[in-house]
Copies of this chain bind each other. A is one copy, B any other.
């Protein structure tokens, strides 16, 4: 196990009705906030009304930035910063999923930066501090509600890049599973795939001695497998929504990576897909994952796949190593299919036209190689893209 410094300062208010704490929590920081949200689903499902009711009852003044896109754009960040500066706002309340929260985090950091906020995404060392932010989560997927990272897309440069800073972690997040009851089946499925992918990225490392963390990762994976289909079939099943929601936070808040040194693979490859084609992130991850697994499977890594197959998929441990590994990968793919996720790039409108360009970009953005479970070079990434077509 490697050395680590653990700090997860975000407070979580989990459960039905927790929106009632919102006013008191905000008031520890501010009484003038920027309310950020996405395409407007929160206005249809009542979450917006809940939030506004609480803000008004507590006398908290608020301005709005709606229309934040999935794969949130640097343009929205610029707009948010402008509003905060013009109106003297000193707290950001993100109501939505990872895109809204990510966008809000970079608004919060960009507020204190004189130049264009895209500079911060390119070079996080330029971030010194951020406005405090809070979140009301409406989609279980990215875990942004409990970590300090964000992913922002620049449509002009076709770049989708991650950025993070301790000051960007939400001060608090409200996780009410009933707020995810109206999430469409396809988004629920993509969210589950995203949670599992975060967990895979942290789990698939070599000989790290972090036994406990690996078992915790398996707990998160089993939770996704146990409840993923149920949440799709019975969207108002509280137990399913609650378990998936909490899994989304724990998958990426550090618990699974402290003491390990995972360098992510599939995310780096997927970011190029959604930067170039604006596809749903979780769908891109689900498509690439089984192909990445098959591609990196070899004698050095097979034991890790055996661990995965036996512990997560309960495959008979007396089968041969490679039989277990292949079966585990097949089961992973079958699970994503059972959630209704399209499982080829062509199905989501991606052909051969940009594969080389995207593979080059993935390598470039990661400084030469992608991942460290098995470091991938350009040809590897291209092969995985082709296999996933």
Contacts and interface: CB of A to CB of B under 8 A. Distances in A.
Interface stretch (A5-13, A82-90, A118-126, A282-290): A5-13
A338 interface: no
B4 A15 contact: yes
Q: How many copies does the complex hold?
A: 2
Contact of A220 (B210, B212, B218): B212
Interface stretch (A55-63, A98-106, A243-251, A265-273): A243-251
A375 to B, nearest CB: 24
A377 B161 CA distance: 60
A209 B242 contact: yes
B242 A1 contact: yes
A188 to B, nearest CB: 17
A247 B211 CA distance: 10
Given A2-B15, A3-B18, A243-B1, A215 B209 contact: no
Given A8-B8, A239-B1, A212 B15 contact: no
Contact of A227 (B9, B11, B211, B223): B211
A250 B18 CA distance: 25
A259 B15 CA distance: 9
A39 interface: no
A258 B18 CA distance: 15
A215 B217 CA distance: 10
A322 interface: no
Contacts of A7: 11-12
B14 A250 contact: no
A177 to B, nearest CB: 8
Contacts of A13: 5-6
Interface string A1-41: 11111111101111111100000000000000000000000
Contact of A5 (B12, B209, B243, B259): B12
Greatest chain B CB density within 10 A among A6, A8, A11, A14 is at: A6
A263 interface: no
8 contacts: A1-B239, A5-B13, A6-B11, A209-B239, A212-B223, A215-B223, A216-B219, A255-B255
